[in-house]
């Protein structure tokens, strides 16, 4: 008995040695990609990551990845989930998400809050590179990080003083569609003396009101520019003074000297110092602790909901996209390159929910997203970053076909309508199966005539029935996503 267990241990020791030598060899050959996935809330981040992982780990079991060269050329071997890198970052809950999609009735996965991580090991056969002479198998380690797009919206604050930020935010609040909702709050501020002593409780109360406004802007009005972004997803900072400030209008009309010397316990003094602390402790911290380690980024944008909501909601998406783009502007004038050295070299914009329009509209959809992305490009310097736009559906929820309408063949999609889709509040499935033509997507930034004719009617769909955990999910262009983000690391 003693002999057997000793010999077992000895064998284990030998195995371990072999294993270690192998590891050492591989480490020099192996590749690593840190992929960041972001998008404003409800743009479909969770479904995207779930599908991406699902496609890779179920490759060979129905995965349709013909535009992903490592699969197309037969170099892809297999992928599996391995323990994530950072112990203090919440795990992306793939199991819960895939369970939601494959349950009966199926539902969309719960949205994530804050940041989360997941790591894949992708085995492949090197073909074109030097690696193939050294080994018949290499591993690409893929770290996927999910974080709220709202965090990117805060970047421009880093170059703004409290006064500049107040002016800009106040300007938004006095225009439609925010104006009507902001009136009461702005009236309260107008009655306050900026230089008077203010209590913590007053600031807490007003900040609560401002935060409620931000939620209304985001969820009721479908707006995209939400600042400060952390206010609507506070996590452990809930109730901390660092999340209790707001824009104060009219600072530009004060005596500059007096404003500069406002005492620390005055209303404006407190607002200003909390704004500065927010930039240091929240905004900069995210860029330092997370953003700097990303190699590749996909930004997801739901262009269809703002098209549905109307002109102002769409204009707000335009503004948000230009703010998001600042994070990828590493030119001399870029805020980021002055503060840090980010290293993202590929940036993909995905127009999500492409399956919610008929296939011939994908062209206009991607053209539209392209305009959103590129209209700001001439101001910026993206030399270092290779960019691409795609219309995608992470998990396809409709089938497309043709239907006769008034004697004419028209393209349609068919799927199960989501219950209370308008409010976007519920993931519950409504049984109704419908066949529709949701309308034409404009291929250019829409003009007034477009909004007047209201040619578009976006409907939210439930996931398809009978999806399986261990089969690959139906999708639109996830293979092209993989091709752009990963293929060059697997040659």
Q: Does the bond joining 105 to the residue before it have cis omega, within 30 degrees of 0?
A: yes
Q: Cα separation of 59 and 91, whole Å?
A: 23
**191 or 201, CB closer to its own copies?**
201
Contacting residue, 88, 332, 404, 406, with its own copies by CB under 8 A: 88
Window 322 to 341, contacts with its own copies (CB under 8 A) = none
Asked whether position 77 contacts its own copies by CB under 8 A, the answer is no
Which region, judged by CB under 8 A, interacts with its own copies, from 133-141, 168-176, 234-242, 478-486? 234-242
DSSP string, 311-348: HHHHHHHHHHHHHHHGGG--STT-HHHHH------EEE
> Minimum Å distance from CB 242 to its own copies?
4
H-type alpha helices, 30-156: 45-57, 69-72, 94-102, 131-134, 150-153
Asked whether position 11 contacts its own copies by CB under 8 A, the answer is no
Contacting residue, 110, 136, 196, 200, with its own copies by CB under 8 A: 200
**113 or 433, CB closer to its own copies?**
113
Window 106 to 145, contacts with its own copies (CB under 8 A) = 114, 116
438's CB contacts (< 8 A; 6+ apart) are 356, 357, 358, 413, 456, 457, 458, 459
> Minimum Å distance from CB 338 to its own copies?
25
> Minimum Å distance from CB 392 to its own copies?
27
Per-residue buried b or exposed e for 216-252, using 16+ beta carbons within 10 Å of the residue's own CB? ebbeebbbbbbbbbbbbbeeebeeebbbbbbbbbebe
Which region, judged by CB under 8 A, interacts with its own copies, from 71-79, 101-109, 171-179, 229-237? 229-237
Residue located via tokens 């040619």? 455
Asked whether position 471 contacts its own copies by CB under 8 A, the answer is no
**Token pair in block for residue 207:** 């900040």
Contacting residue, 14, 78, 171, 240, with its own copies by CB under 8 A: 240
Q: Cα separation of 259 and 247, whole Å?
A: 15
Sign of the alpha-carbon torsion through 146, 231, 107, 397: negative
> Minimum Å distance from CB 261 to its own copies?
7
Sites of contact with its own copies (CB under 8 A): 9, 12, 16, 19, 81-84, 87-91, 93, 95, 114, 116, 195, 199-201, 204, 235-242, 244, 255, 258, 261, 263, 265, 270, 273-274, 277, 281
């Amino acid at each position: 008995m003693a002999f057997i267990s000793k010999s077992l241990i000895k064998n284990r020791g030998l195995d371990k040695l072999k294993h270690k030598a192998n590891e050492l060899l591989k480490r020099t050959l192996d590749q690593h990609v840190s992929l960041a996935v972001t998008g404003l809330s409800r743009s479909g981040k969770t479904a995207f990551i779930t599908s991406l992982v699902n496609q890779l780990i179920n490759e060979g079991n129905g995965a349709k990845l013909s535009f992903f060269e490592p699969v197309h050329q037969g170099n892809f071997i297999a992928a599996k989930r391995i323990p994530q890198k950072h112990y203090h970052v919440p795990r992306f809950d793939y199991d819960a998400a895939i369970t939601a999609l494959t349950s009966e009735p199926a539902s969309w996965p719960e949205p994530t809050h804050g940041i989360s991580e997941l790591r894949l090991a992708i085995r492949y056969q090197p073909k074109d590179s030097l690696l193939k002479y050294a080994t018949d198998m290499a591993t690409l380690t893929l770290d996927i990080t999910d974080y709220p797009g709202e965090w990117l919206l805060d970047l421009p604050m880093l170059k703004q003083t409290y006064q500049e930020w107040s002016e800009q935010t106040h300007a938004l609040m006095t225009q439609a569609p925010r104006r009507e909702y902001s009136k009461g709050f702005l009236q309260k501020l107008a009655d306050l003396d900026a230089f008077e002593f203010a209590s913590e409780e007053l600031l807490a109360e007003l900040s609560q009101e401002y935060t409620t406004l931000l939620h209304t802007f985001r969820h009721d009005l479908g707006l995209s520019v939400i600042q400060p972004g952390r206010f609507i997803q506070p996590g452990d900072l809930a109730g901390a003074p660092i999340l209790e400030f707001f824009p104060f209008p009219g600072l530009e009309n004060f005596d500059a000297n007096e404003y500069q010397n406002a005492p620390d316990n005055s209303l404006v003094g407190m607002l200003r110092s909390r704004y500065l602390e927010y930039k240091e402790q929240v905004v900069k911290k995210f860029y330092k602790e997370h953003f700097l380690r990303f190699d590749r980024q996909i930004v997801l944008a739901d262009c269809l909901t703002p098209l549905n909501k109307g002109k102002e909601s769409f204009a707000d998406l335009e503004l948000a996209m230009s703010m998001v783009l600042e994070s990828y502007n590493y030119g001399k004038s870029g805020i980021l390159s002055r503060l840090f050295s980010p290293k993202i070299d590929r940036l993909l914009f995905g127009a999500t929910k492409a399956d919610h329009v008929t296939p011939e509209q994908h062209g206009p959809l991607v053209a539209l997203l392209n305009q959103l992305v590129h209209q700001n490009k001439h101001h910026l310097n993206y030399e270092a970053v290779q960019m691409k736009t795609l219309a995608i559906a992470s998990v396809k929820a409709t089938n497309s076909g043709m239907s006769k309408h008034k004697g004419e063949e028209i393209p349609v999609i068919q799927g199960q309508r989501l219950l209370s889709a308008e409010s976007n509040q519920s993931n519950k499935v409504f049984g109704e199966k419908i066949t529709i033509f949701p309308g034409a997507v404009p291929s250019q930034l829409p003009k007034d005539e477009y909004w007047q004719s209201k040619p578009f009617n976006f409907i939210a769909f439930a996931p398809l029935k009978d999806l399986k955990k261990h089969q690959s999910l139906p999708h639109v262009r996830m293979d092209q996503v993989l091709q752009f983000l990963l293929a060059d690391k697997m040659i």
